[in-house]
Amino acid sequence: MISSPIPLVSATTFGSVVSTVLDNNEGMTVEMAERIVREALAFVVTGARRPHLAMAPSRIVDEGWHALIVHTEVYSELCAREGVFVHHSPGFDPDNFDPNILDQTQDAIRAAGFEVDPELWRAPTDDSLVSVAANCQHAPRCKIRPMPKPEKPCNKPAVA
């Protein structure tokens, strides 16, 4: 079993992504930012390896995903190496939240061989552990799905 996704990126890259999380979240500890980035890496790699699964990050894990995405070359290479590109399609509606998707996502991450940090998988309105800048959950029609129903279109232009 892979215990930590850190070997998936260089130490320099990991540190840079952690720094991005810290820059976006004043007062966050380095330890918390590292936990968030580890979990985001496991989430992205699981999504890249298993694109058929309905998955969604918690808001806390999403903060790490955002930080990873802005490292575009690293992100693209990681997704390509591990499977498929994991698109990020944000939206936010905490009233339209299915808590089962977070359990389902954690199960998928474990099945991919990663340890899960369950403390980071909280409902979108739960900021009792840490408050993060990320204010999105993901559009239902997209590959990374926050909930099975109700279906709403992605925030993407229609293709004619």
pLDDT in tens, 85-106: 998 877 666 666 677 888 999 9
> Which of 118, 103, 109 is CA-nearest to residue 82?
109
Domain range for 95? 7-138
Residue 135's pLDDT is what?
Answer: 66
Judge whether 23 lies within some domain.
yes
Residue 156 predicted with pLDDT over 90:
no
Judge whether 152 lies within some domain.
no
Judge whether 21 lies within some domain.
yes
Range from 35-39, 58-62, 148-152 carrying the lowest mean pLDDT? 148-152
Judge whether 148 lies within some domain.
no
Average pLDDT of the residues in 109-134: 86
Counted domains in the chain = 1
- DSSP assigned state of 128: S
SS3 content of the chain, % helix, strand, coil (to 5): 45, 0, 50
Residue 152's pLDDT is what?
Answer: 43
Judge whether 153 lies within some domain.
no
Asked whether the CA dihedral 71, 73, 76, 80 is positive or negative, the reply is negative
**pTM of the complete model:** 0.81
Judge whether 122 lies within some domain.
yes
Average pLDDT of the residues in 1-12: 72
Residue 112 predicted with pLDDT over 50:
yes
Judge whether 158 lies within some domain.
no
Judge whether 150 lies within some domain.
no
Residue 150's pLDDT is what?
Answer: 37
